[in-house]
Amino acid sequence: MSKVKIFAPVEEKERPAIEAPITDAESFHAVVDSRRSVRVYAKDPIPPEVMDACLDAALKAPNSSNLQAWEIHHVVDAKKKAALVEACLSQPAAGTAPELVVFVGRPDLWRRNNRWMIEAFDKAGNVPDGAYQYYRKITPLVYDQGALGWRTPFKWILTRWRGMSRPYPREPIGKWGMRIWAHKSTALACAHFMLAMRAHGFDTCPMEGMDSARVKGILGLPRQAVVTMVISAGKRAEGGVYGPRLRFDRQHFVHRH
């Protein structure tokens, strides 16, 4: 088995480019430019096959260490959906939507998913030793915060001490760090879902205006789960987009160094 290491420098000085899958940049930018947060939806349903395709697109989002620390809860039960609308403050973006999807970060499942990665390597065969080393040694070191978070202060001291002399990963540290870690990956899945919906001709609205504790209760989520956002989906209704897109000048946000 190869002994390639994940963070080892590439030995070759230069590698030639290879052809990646052909894409359509113009169509992609049309999707991005036409995506808007829709506040009022028409009654037109979304075909089940479109929902499934967009949910699958969300699961293809990049994520930290490929540990996929997320869950997607597509709420279809009428009573749960009504309760979810109320938990979303009964805002029109929720109340008029044909579909509601809750994106949830699951930092508590990193051990299970880490084990699944190793099992996938065993099944695939011919996986570099460096990949095994990453999931057997590095991920436990990075993500294990210890029972009741007892490792947290020691990890904080260690990362600051080692970071004084060389680059060293400093996050996640502690329970809150793990929550942020899961939120970041889950947010990437949210973006994939919304862009996929637009590509299929439907619209979405990401909602942080909600009672996350009530949402967790509706879905029966454990305490460790974190609700990243609720996303409504459907066809935009007349007046459902509240005005033109407003973005501040890019000079305030894009910096080159």
- pLDDT tens for each residue of 196-223: 999 999 999 999 999 999 999 999 999 9
pLDDT tens, position by position, 123-141 = 999 999 999 999 999 999 9
- Give the pLDDT of residue 8: 67
The CA distance from 40 to 37, in Å, is 9
pLDDT band at 4 (very low <50, low <70, confident <90, very high): very low
Mean pLDDT for 14-40 is 96
86 & 122 share domain: no
Strand partners, 163: none
The per-residue pLDDT of the chain, averaged, comes to: 94
226 & 189 share domain: yes
Residues, the chain? 257
- Give the pLDDT of residue 13: 76
- Give the pLDDT of residue 89: 98
Instruction: Give 227 or 162, the one with higher predicted confidence.
Output: 227
Residue 183: burial class (beta carbons within 10 Å; 0-12, 13-18, 19+): buried
Q: What are phi and psi of 232, to 5 degrees?
A: -90, 155
- Give the pLDDT of residue 227: 98
The CA distance from 89 to 210, in Å, is 6
pLDDT tens, position by position, 88-119 = 999 999 999 999 999 999 999 999 999 999 99
93 & 179 share domain: yes
Quote the domain boundaries for residue 151: 111-163
pTM here?
0.93
* SS3 assignment, position 73: strand
Angstrom distances, CA of residue 67 to CA of 143, 161, 220, 249: 11, 27, 22, 36
Q: CB neighbours (10 Å) of residue 137?
A: 10
Q: Is the pLDDT of residue 39 over 70?
A: yes
| Residue 23, domain member (yes or no) | no
The sheet that has 226-234: what strands, in order across it? 70-75, 99-105, 226-234, 203-207
pLDDT band at 2 (very low <50, low <70, confident <90, very high): very low
Angle CA 148–152–155, to nearest 5: 150
Mean pLDDT for 15-31 is 95
| Residue 225, domain member (yes or no) | yes
- Which residue type occupies 17? A
116 & 233 share domain: no
87 & 138 share domain: no
- Give the pLDDT of residue 7: 65
Cα 233 to its chain centre, rounded Å, is 17
pLDDT band at 10 (very low <50, low <70, confident <90, very high): low
**Total tally of structural domains belonging to the chain:** 2
- Identify which of 45, 39, 61, 3 has the alpha carbon closest to the alpha carbon of residue 190: 61
Q: Is the pLDDT of residue 165 over 90?
A: yes
56 & 89 share domain: yes
141 & 187 share domain: no
